[in-house]
Structure 1
């Protein structure tokens, strides 16, 4: 469904930005865990990008030593960033990846 510009202005409709809702560690953890569980790399990178924007890309760039433009490129979902880059981003965000076995399906 396409919403006309007139209705957007009349009703004050704005684009939804998930980064605005990522205000605490519990929410961020659940958000990233769900995106990672999907198995879709682009989805996880988009979620990680949302978290990075919520925390501040400039600060993240300073903490990782990766230029802001490079961070946006790495997290845009169309590239395949190096695992080292992802680990640097997660570390700067104080996020730790863990593993566990999946339950077997019968």
Structure 2
């Protein structure tokens, strides 16, 4: 399994737009075989940082999702929403793997 951690720098005046972007990507990830663990929006502290976590069974399946989603009309519309509203200033993507429990756990 591979989990993708995305850190977003967002425009705090465009949180509603970012929320809509996030709702749409949750659905997109599920359509392409992934599990979305949610978006995490600013509460207290930094007002311009948000996070997302989603997983795929393997890096190969994730890479296929990237290829397929780039051709998908609904995904392209969601990307256009972010571009048009400028709700995302920048983002960083990290790939994580879960720690397997110790044998016998």
- Common topology (TM > 0.5): no
Greater length-normalized contact order (CA 8 Å, ≥ 6 residues apart): 2
TM-score w.r.t. structure 1 length? 0.27
Structure of greater Rg: 1
- Which of the two has greater strand per residue? 2
- Which of the two has greater helix per residue? 1
TM-score w.r.t. structure 2 length? 0.27
